[in-house]
Structure 1
């Protein structure tokens, strides 16, 4: 499923796509994918395309939040959680850093 998600984001011209492996960090999901769109419209279009691709591939209906607004769309596809942001919103919340800090502290604790 992660390959489908990243391919769909690539096809939609999503920018700065980052995939984070959560399997040893959280029971929430196996992967988190973070991407940016250039505008409200682009964020919504990228999300819409991904939702359609997931459904066509047989992964069912993902839960979606924020599609109408287009600032930050969260797609919960079960094993994968996808965040699609406008660049300003992404830099404000900086989700990648939150998970990087968790990785760094795990490494230091070994």
Structure 2
């Protein structure tokens, strides 16, 4: 994939720290890859984001969406097939996206011990009896878990 290669080479050229690429195919439909990297400062994070956007437009004719650029603590680049998260190291440690996506090493492999629970583990849980999933999701916390007793 040309976009993924462009992102990876741009981050390498810009000396990004701890670059991780997580394959998302089969895990989600939002993108094919998620790339997570750190910059040493807000200036470096902002510069890396701008360069990825410029190269994607110039070399592939793709426009990307960028969120978080003014503060540049955590910048999200949505390039459709590739989602890029650029962090300052402290912010990256706090959010720990690699763990959230069950990432377990530089190869992009996952392990059972860190993988999220299978959906079947939750099949018997029904926080709102007789509600469709849409109705249950649209209810507020108090309504969704109301036991019928008044406080």
**TM-score between both structures, scaled by the size of structure 2:** 0.67
Post-superposition offset of 1:51? 0.8
Cα RMSD for the two superposed structures: 1.9
Bigger Rg, structure 1 or 2? 2
Post-superposition offset of 1:96? 0.5
Structure 1: segments with no counterpart, 5+ residues: none
Structure 2: segments with no counterpart, 5+ residues: 104-109, 119-151
2:68 is aligned to 66
Counterpart among 20, 38, 42 of residue 22 in structure 2:
20
Post-superposition offset of 1:59? 3.9
2:7 is aligned to 5
SS of the equivalent of 2:60 reads: coil
Pick closer, same or farther for the CA change 1:46–1:8 going to 2, 3 Å.
Answer: same
Post-superposition offset of 1:104? 3.1
1:28-69: CA deviations, max 9, x gaps?
A: 100000000001111101111111111111242101100111
SS of the equivalent of 2:29 reads: coil
1:76 is aligned to 78
Counterpart among 73, 82, 86 of residue 88 in structure 2:
86
**TM-score between both structures, scaled by the size of structure 1:** 0.91
